[in-house]
Amino acid sequence: MALAIFDLDNTLLSGDSDYLWGVFLGEQGIVDANYYEKENERFYQEYKDGKLDIMEFLQFSLKPLSEHPTQDLYNWREQFIDEKIRPLVSQKSVDLVEKHRRQGDTLMIITATNAFVTSPIAELFTIPNLIATDPEMVNDTYTGKVAGEPSFQHGKVKRLDSWLAEKNKTLAGSWFYSDSHNDIPLLEKVDNPVAVDPDDKLNDHALNNQWPIISLRD
């Protein structure tokens, strides 16, 4: 069985779940909407430019998890998934995942977005394996800190290598679908890299390397 790996934001989803979680928190009055929107926009632009300081961003994005009771967070997240995420799941994304499932491939989402936000999204796609940035928990309470290596840029490669070693699997016949030039380190490791609605930098890289370019937008 080959490994079929999917980036999440702007790949399987027609939008960015990390960014939209911040929007949702502001709309609900859980964070200061004006401040959060400004910072969210700054970090998102830095991400697109390939200049994101991932630890600075995670300090910002995980802070709200440490400021509220866990059950409230889970309730808000359920509303967030229904209102913000389900509309971003295209039929083409579902069909692609199901094609690999029918082929007997091992399905995985790998994303820089934290696992609090992304674990229920992986469940939406019925994808059993998720590598995401892990928020630290102590006594069932989020601390606002990161546990371990963030799965961002080369961190995705390190986290995947650890998973492969743990599961005694290889990248033989593997696929990776992504929209972002930030994922070029991992795209270059798999046997079948595919650019999905790519940003300009990844589009150029894909053309230069004769990688397939596809769209998952309905």
Residues designated as active site:
7, 9
In 3D, which of 84, 77, 215 has the Cα closest to residue 142? Answer: 77
Q: DSSP label at 13?
A: B
Residues 3, 109 contacting (CB under 8 angstroms): no
* Tokens coding 149: 């290596």
In 3D, which of 87, 72, 157 has the Cα closest to residue 124? Answer: 87
If one counts every other C-beta atom within 10 angstroms of the C-beta of residue 149, the result is 15
What CA dihedral angle connects 128, 129, 135 and 138, to 10 degrees?
A: 70
